[in-house]
Amino acid sequence: MLKKLLKYDIRAIFKYWWILAVSSVGLSLIGGTCLYALMNFEDNDPNAIMILVAVLGIVATVIGLSAFLIVTEILIYVRFYKNFFTDEGYLTFTLPVKRSQLLNSKLIVTVGASLATILVLIVDVIMVFAIGAPDSFNSEFWKSLGWIFGEVTKSLGIYAIIYALEILLIGVLLGLSSILLLYICITLASIIVKKAKVIAAIGIYYGAYSAVTFAAQLMYVFGLMFIGGTFSNLPEAAMTGTVALILLVLLAFVAALCVALYLLEYYLLDKKLNLA
């Protein structure tokens, strides 16, 4: 049944998402062309209108790519809200499926759409600079990137791969925790209030985000103090392994946070949701 839920959720999101993705690619072509023209105007002595058009094209590209990310997130969470907490929710929760499957479907599609959006944006940015500054991009960029990779690998050895994997997993789990936090805020708003649920969800999310940010800042400060004290007493040869261990502890903490948020969201959907 999860496959069927995924099919409908994917269809609901990606029937709009692909239009946004194609539009972002088109904007990248325009932005790259405008950047190339702007960088070569000096030799051709253009008039002010040509410069203005090129600048506006670049600005429109930046705004459009940012909007692609924002609109995608809006599509995702509007789908979650409408499918669970509007009149459509009465039908959704009468389906012969577990609520965990409903939640898992939404979560998988949200993560997939977010990752797809990030990948498309990376391609868009590469296109802008590959078209707008081909000489610098094709030579200096890849040369610098190769030099950085070589130096890091030479300095850290196998730990370079370990660090990269740990940081990548931490980033993915932080994104997942952010998604689950927003799910919880939307769910709480739908449980607590009968009207203005969207406004209530924004208010709850703002309060929760502020609390999480404050806690993260405290952990950051005390973490720096702890790490500073730890590294000052360590021999240089043991530092790379210690950094890997610290990242592993952070990874475990973020993973535990994701599990806790998932269980809380499932509990709210399964035990606290009143569709009467």
pTM of the model as a whole: 0.79
Mean pLDDT of 51-59: 83
Q: Scanning the structure block, which residue is given the tokens 């709210």? A: 268
What pLDDT, in 10s, does the model give residues 137-158?
A: 666 666 666 656 666 666 666 7
Residue 11 pLDDT more than 60? yes
* Res 84: pLDDT: 85
What pLDDT, in 10s, does the model give residues 81-102?
A: 888 887 777 777 777 888 888 8
What average pLDDT does the structure give for the chain? Answer: 79
- 156 residue type, one letter: L
What pLDDT, in 10s, does the model give residues 221-231?
A: 665 555 555 55
Mean pLDDT of 23-45: 81
**Which has the higher per-residue pLDDT, 46 or 171?**
171
Which residue ranges make up each domain of the chain? 1-139, 157-276
* Res 22: pLDDT: 92
